[in-house]
Amino acid sequence: MSIIFLLIGISLLVALTFLGAFFWAVRSGQYEDDYTPAVRMLFEEETEPDIPPGGSAA
Amino acid sequence: MPVPVAPALAPPPPHISVACTHCGDACPDAPIRLPAEPGLAFCCQGCRAVYELLAANRLCTYYRLDAHPGQKMKTVELPGRFDYLDAEAVQAQLLAFRSPTLARITFSIPQMHCASCIWLLENLFKLDPGISSSRVNFLRKELTVSYQPAATTLKKVVKLLAAVGYEPQITLAELGAQPHAASRTLYYQLGIAAFGFGNVMLLAFPEYFSFAGQLQSTFGRFFGGLSFLLALPVLLVSARGFYRSAWQGLRQRYINLDFPISLGLTALFMTSVFEVLTQRGPGYFDSFTGLVFFMLIGKWVQQRSYDALRFDRDFTSYFPVAVTRLTTAGEESVSVKELRAGQRIRVRHQEIIPADAVLRRGAGQIDYSFVSGESEPVARQAGDLLYAGGRQMGEAVELEVVREVSQGYLTQLWNNPAFQKEKQPSLETYADKVGRYFVGLTLTLALGAVAYWYPQNPAMALRAFTSVLVIACPCALSLATPFALGAALRVLGRRKFYLKNSAVVETLGRADTLVFDKTGTLTDVKKSVVEYVGPPLSPGQMQAVAAVVRQSTHPLSQRLATELPASSLAVADFTETPGQGVRGTVAGVVVRVGTAAFVGAAAAEAATEAAGPAQSGVYFRLGEASGRYLFRNVYRDSLRPVLAALGTRYRLAVLSGDNDTEQARLRELFGPTAEIHFRQTPQNKLEYIAQLKKAGRTVVMVGDGLNDAGALQCADAGIALTDTLTNFSPACDAILEADNFGQLATMLGFSRTCLRIVLATFALSFVYNGIGLTLAVQGRFTPIVSAILMPISSLSVMVFATLLVRLAARRRGL
């Protein structure tokens, strides 16, 4: 049954990794703005073919 | 590459609905078209200029992400408006980071509102190669720009932002105060508590299941020790806030809700340590970490508020950063703080007078609406004293400063004690009141249990004592308020009523007196009614008047222009005499519009006779015809129903900075019992509120301007009314968008309901505490009971409070 010691040790290590990841996320400011990134990721990177918004003037 | 923005006058009322490609406003009869793309219509030259700038830089994605994302370009470009940004002292204060190769600054841009805004602002580098990156924080409405000082300047960056319609707010308050890093402590605390809770719970499982009995006997000590290690950081880091708050309360000889919480947490932790050390069992570490975790969630819910809105703005947010100082060497831009008495400054059209000063040259036309509540601009001659805070309309004037900014008439208000100390919650919250009785009750019960058990079973006595203390931890109770009021906060936020924090809901729910400001609060500034007095005019004559007033930037002219029919008549030899009026020749007829003296005494007399005195108006003479336009305050459409709903429950009062011409109408609106006071200075208003409070009333002040700032601050809850959230609003507890003024009565009623919901939730949590206490005094409160009771009580209280508030909101149609 001493394998339990090892397993618990490993599970704690995994949990600590996640805790560390959470701290990193907080430190890098990810919890300060939870709106902009959701919008930002939808923007196209490349220079666009420049079509004027013809329909919007109707 | 700043684009000169042509002066754009307000468009006439829409006749046809062609939406401007840039801002979406209705275009005038003949919209401005681009030769290259005739399909696009623009309402004004300013909007067209922005479109051309973006099109030239292949940034038209802006118009595809959201329909009509632009800001209407209405401000008249003033030469040299941003010159002060070149000043070394200003830059040193504004820039967050500076080196020869890189500079970084964070702007506050309240205009941003959609995905298009984010996209354009993050693509600024395409418009100015000197900008290396720009990053938006949408919730805080902030833009962080990094640029190379060698390639561009701060002034160019700001000018570029202004040219595309996103002029940043740079005011005295932003100087020196760089964007506050949001507190991340709570997130760390939550993370640690969640980590501890999750792991300790797993380790506690063997105890709860009988089949794992063998496991428990083998590993009990190890699990206990590990649980202790995991719970220790939760106690030291996560639970710190509760201990600190309880200690602060005690030092002020005051028991708040955090006191029994701290007591319970301590009892829980000490008992667990004792049990683990003596190998009696695994202790209550899972309950302990769980409690802390749930209560931190409550705190987090409570803390989430409206970051982008500033509730603590004082006069410095309203004042400009720099002014134009006149010296023998010419003009220079200096920081407002450097102004000294005796210096000469120049204030241009639309600029704010930064310090009390004497007018030396030029005709002052000062709009004090924001400071004193007077609705019309007042004319001032050379030699008159001008108070800080007024806005000059018309030509540039020269002033001599008599008092430094910090000594001014307006800023004196901020020396009032109401502003000095951190605002103490003047009302004891329900939770704290209940918490106090709770402590007394549980301590009595705990001692009673000891007295009962000690003679027969000393071990049992100790167990009962600690169990009762553990149960005394009002975890569910502490969750009731944040969850109920937090849900209320979000409901009200959806209706554009933004509260500073959830405690304001409680204050609003308990209010018994409502005090209103008049100008801008009861009246709708945007909608003054223009009334014509005089002989009937032909459409041609009206068009002639319209053509002339359209040439002028004076606010009254502009308002008149929007009221009169659209006119394309040509105006010859147009002249504007500041503070007097305008004249021009239309189709060979001289048109004069302005003060009585300006248009001629005879015409004025005739018109005055017809209209009666004491009302502001604009006279005009057109050949032989003459007449007068009156501008009347319009009360908000919803005012009457709101007052009818409020009048039955609240004591109402009106404080107006204006004269008493409106007395009869207000009396009729507010009913015979309301107190109505006129010609109130900001100081008067503050004192009036203080007096009411001294009389034991819970006062809610509803105001809008800087002149109400003292009263808003002094009142138990100050509600600032604003037409656009981007506008300046004085320090307050809540910001209500003016369009939703009609729902004020419903919202206040909703706050009252929320208080009852809080009480109902208290009752629910008492049920759990009752069950726990019954078990505890009998010494049957075991770790497994605690592990079941604790999460059930916490979760059910959270759900119960949130659902009830939602239900109440739906019933009231919020």
Measure the CA–CA gap between B740 and B218, rounded to whole angstroms. 66
For helices B285-303 and B185-208, what crossing angle results, to 10°?
150
pLDDT at B643 over 80: yes
In this predicted structure, which of B305-309, B620-624, B631-635 has the lowest mean pLDDT? B305-309
Who wins on pLDDT, B508 or B610?
A: B508
Q: Cβ of A56 and B21 within 8 Å?
A: yes
- What are the Cα distances from residue B292, in Å, to A16, B80, B353, B785? 19, 57, 53, 18
The per-residue pLDDT for A10 is 94
| Tokens encoding B127 | 């418009």
Measure the CA–CA gap between B207 and B784, rounded to whole angstroms. 8
With beta carbons less than 8 A apart as the criterion, state whether B580 and B560 touch: no
Average pLDDT of the residues in B409-436: 63
Taking only the tens place, the pLDDT of each residue in B441-485 is 888 888 888 888 888 888 788 778 878 877 767 778 888 888 888
CA angle B548, B553, B558 (to 5 degrees): 70
The per-residue pLDDT for B441 is 84
Burial of A41 (0-12, 13-18, 19+ CB in 10 A): exposed
Residues with Cβ within 8 Å of B127's Cβ and at least 6 positions away in sequence, in order, are B1, B53, B57, B59, B160, B164
Residues with Cβ within 8 Å of B261's Cβ and at least 6 positions away in sequence, in order, are B242, B246, B295, B473, B474, B475, B478
**pTM value surpassing 0.80:** no
- % of chain B exceeding 70 in pLDDT: 84
Tell me which chain B residues have a C-beta less than 8 angstroms from the C-beta of A22. 191
Tell me which chain B residues have a C-beta less than 8 angstroms from the C-beta of A28. none
Tell me the pLDDT of chain B averaged across its residues. 79
Measure the CA–CA gap between A21 and A14, rounded to whole angstroms. 11
Distance from CA of A46 to the nearest CA of B (A): 11
Measure the CA–CA gap between B394 and B349, rounded to whole angstroms. 5
Query: To probe the interface with A, which of B27, B43, B123, B139 has the most A CB atoms within 10 Å?
Result: B139
A45 shares contact with chain B (CB less than 8 Å): no
Measure the CA–CA gap between B218 and B380, rounded to whole angstroms. 92
Measure the CA–CA gap between B459 and B783, rounded to whole angstroms. 16
> Smallest Cα–Cα separation from B780: which of B467, B553, B362, B569?
B467
Measure the CA–CA gap between B762 and B474, rounded to whole angstroms. 10
Tallying the residues shown for chain B, one arrives at 814
pLDDT at B793 over 80: yes
For B56, the closest chain A residue by CA position comes to A50
Tell me which chain B residues have a C-beta less than 8 angstroms from the C-beta of A41. none
pLDDT at B84 over 60: yes
Distance from CA of A24 to the nearest CA of B (A): 10
In this complex, the residue of B68, B136, B219 whose CB is nearest that of residue A56 is B68
- Grouping H, G, I as helix, E, B as strand and the rest as coil, residue B634 is coil
Measure the CA–CA gap between B94 and A39, rounded to whole angstroms. 28
For A17, the closest chain B residue by CA position comes to B195
| Tokens encoding B42 | 């623009």
With beta carbons less than 8 A apart as the criterion, state whether B114 and B191 touch: no
| Tokens encoding B203 | 């380790």
Distance from CA of A53 to the nearest CA of B (A): 6
Query: How many CB atoms are closer than 10 A to CB B117?
Result: 26
Tell me which chain B residues have a C-beta less than 8 angstroms from the C-beta of A12. 199, 226
Residue environment code for B686-698, b if the CB has 16+ CB neighbours within 10 A, otherwise e: bbbbbebbeeebb
A46 shares contact with chain B (CB less than 8 Å): no
Average pLDDT of the residues in B97-107: 86
Q: Cβ of A23 and B118 within 8 Å?
A: no
Measure the CA–CA gap between B391 and B368, rounded to whole angstroms. 7
Measure the CA–CA gap between B249 and B435, rounded to whole angstroms. 12
> Smallest Cα–Cα separation from B466: which of B284, B230, B259, B203?
B284
Q: Which residue has the tokens 């500076």?
A: B98
Q: Cβ of A57 and B40 within 8 Å?
A: yes
Distance from CA of B194 to the nearest CA of A (A): 9
> Smallest Cα–Cα separation from B97: which of B138, B141, B133?
B133
The per-residue pLDDT for B316 is 66
- What are the Cα distances from residue B577, in Å, to B361, B553, B627, B691, B739? 14, 12, 20, 46, 36
The per-residue pLDDT for B664 is 84
Query: To probe the interface with B, which of A16, A47, A56 has the most B CB atoms within 10 Å?
Result: A56
| Tokens encoding B1 | 């590459």
Measure the CA–CA gap between B170 and B168, rounded to whole angstroms. 6
Average pLDDT of the residues in B605-631: 63
With beta carbons less than 8 A apart as the criterion, state whether B293 and B287 touch: no
Specify the pairing of strand B675-677 against strand B651-655. parallel
The per-residue pLDDT for A57 is 38
Q: Cβ of A48 and B61 within 8 Å?
A: yes
Tell me which chain A residues have a C-beta less than 8 angstroms from the C-beta of B191. 19, 22-23, 26
Q: Cβ of A53 and B63 within 8 Å?
A: yes
| Tokens encoding B753 | 């309901």
The per-residue pLDDT for B323 is 79
With beta carbons less than 8 A apart as the criterion, state whether B127 and B164 touch: yes
B529-632 shares the fold of B32-163 = no
For helices B475-494 and B783-811, what crossing angle results, to 10°?
20
Residues with Cβ within 8 Å of B346's Cβ and at least 6 positions away in sequence, in order, are B323, B324, B325, B326, B331, B396, B397, B398, B399
Average pLDDT of the residues in B404-412: 69
Average pLDDT of the residues in B767-795: 82
Domain boundaries, chain B: 32-163, 318-415, 529-632
Q: Could you tell me the sign of the dihedral formed by the alpha carbons of B182, B184, B187, B189, in that order? A: negative
Taking only the tens place, the pLDDT of each residue in B152-182 is 888 889 888 888 888 887 776 665 544 455 5
Q: Which residue has the tokens 């007033």?
A: B549
Query: To probe the interface with B, which of A4, A7, A39 has the most B CB atoms within 10 Å?
Result: A39
The per-residue pLDDT for A46 is 56
The reply to whether CATH 2.70.150.10 applies to domain B318-415 is yes
In this predicted structure, which of A54-58, B17-21, B374-378 has the lowest mean pLDDT? A54-58
Q: Cβ of B115 and A4 within 8 Å?
A: no
> Smallest Cα–Cα separation from B333: which of B159, B160, B81, B105?
B81
Distance from CA of B810 to the nearest CA of A (A): 27
For B229, the closest chain A residue by CA position comes to A12
CA angle B490, B496, B499 (to 5 degrees): 55
Single-letter amino acid, residue B246: A
Measure the CA–CA gap between B384 and B543, rounded to whole angstroms. 37
The per-residue pLDDT for B630 is 76
The ipTM of this complex is 0.81
Residues with Cβ within 8 Å of B130's Cβ and at least 6 positions away in sequence, in order, are B147, B148, B150, B151, B152, B156, B157
Average pLDDT of the residues in B699-717: 84
Q: Cβ of A15 and B115 within 8 Å?
A: no
Q: Cβ of B184 and A27 within 8 Å?
A: yes
Taking only the tens place, the pLDDT of each residue in B249-301 is 888 887 788 888 888 899 889 888 988 888 777 778 988 999 899 999 988 88
Single-letter amino acid, residue B792: I
The per-residue pLDDT for B4 is 45
- Grouping H, G, I as helix, E, B as strand and the rest as coil, residue B31 is coil
Measure the CA–CA gap between B507 and B511, rounded to whole angstroms. 6
pLDDT at B726 over 70: no
Q: What backbone phi and psi angles, to 5 degrees, belong to B330?
A: 125, -160
With beta carbons less than 8 A apart as the criterion, state whether B67 and B55 touch: no
In this predicted structure, which of B356-370, B402-416, B629-643 has the lowest mean pLDDT? B402-416
Confidence bin at B555 (pLDDT 50/70/90): low
> Smallest Cα–Cα separation from B164: which of B56, B59, B71?
B71
A24 shares contact with chain B (CB less than 8 Å): no
Identify the segments of chain A with pLDDT beneath 70. 45-58
Q: Cβ of A52 and B219 within 8 Å?
A: no
Tell me which chain B residues have a C-beta less than 8 angstroms from the C-beta of A5. 222
pLDDT at B31 over 70: yes
- % of chain B exceeding 90 in pLDDT: 10
Specify the pairing of strand B497-499 against strand B734-737. antiparallel
In this predicted structure, which of B45-54, B423-432, B766-775 has the lowest mean pLDDT? B423-432
Measure the CA–CA gap between B353 and B410, rounded to whole angstroms. 11
Confidence bin at B734 (pLDDT 50/70/90): confident
HSE of B411, CA atoms in CB hemisphere, 13 A: 18
For helices B744-777 and B639-647, what crossing angle results, to 10°?
40
Measure the CA–CA gap between A53 and B63, rounded to whole angstroms. 6
Average pLDDT of the residues in B67-77: 66
Tell me which chain A residues have a C-beta less than 8 angstroms from the C-beta of B187. 26, 31
A14 shares contact with chain B (CB less than 8 Å): no
Query: To probe the interface with A, which of B32, B119, B183 has the most A CB atoms within 10 Å?
Result: B119
HSE of B792, CA atoms in CB hemisphere, 13 A: 12
- What are the Cα distances from residue B686, in Å, to A25, B583, B698, B713? 46, 44, 14, 8
- Please give the sequence-ordered ranges of beta strands (E in DSSP) within B68-212, or none if there are none: 97-98, 103-108, 131-137, 142-147
pLDDT at B128 over 80: yes
In this predicted structure, which of B5-9, B501-505, B719-723, B753-757 has the lowest mean pLDDT? B5-9
Q: Cβ of A19 and B192 within 8 Å?
A: yes
> Smallest Cα–Cα separation from B153: which of B87, B65, B223, B61?
B87
pLDDT at B610 over 50: no
The per-residue pLDDT for B230 is 93
In this complex, the residue of B136, B137, B191 whose CB is nearest that of residue A19 is B191
Specify the pairing of strand B581-586 against strand B589-594. antiparallel
Tell me which chain A residues have a C-beta less than 8 angstroms from the C-beta of B195. 15-16, 18-19
Distance from CA of B200 to the nearest CA of A (A): 10
With beta carbons less than 8 A apart as the criterion, state whether B286 and B227 touch: yes
For B17, the closest chain A residue by CA position comes to A58
| Tokens encoding B254 | 């005051």
Q: Cβ of A42 and B61 within 8 Å?
A: no
Fold of B32-163: Alpha-Beta Plaits (3.30.70)
| Tokens encoding B491 | 């409901």
Tell me which chain A residues have a C-beta less than 8 angstroms from the C-beta of B188. 23, 26
Q: How many residue pairs bridge chain A and chain B with CB atoms within 8 Å of each other?
A: 90
Who wins on pLDDT, B11 or B685?
A: B685
Residues with Cβ within 8 Å of B439's Cβ and at least 6 positions away in sequence, in order, are B255, B259, B260, B263, B472
Average pLDDT of the residues in B599-623: 58
The reply to whether CATH 3.40.1110.10 applies to domain B529-632 is yes
For A16, the closest chain B residue by CA position comes to B195
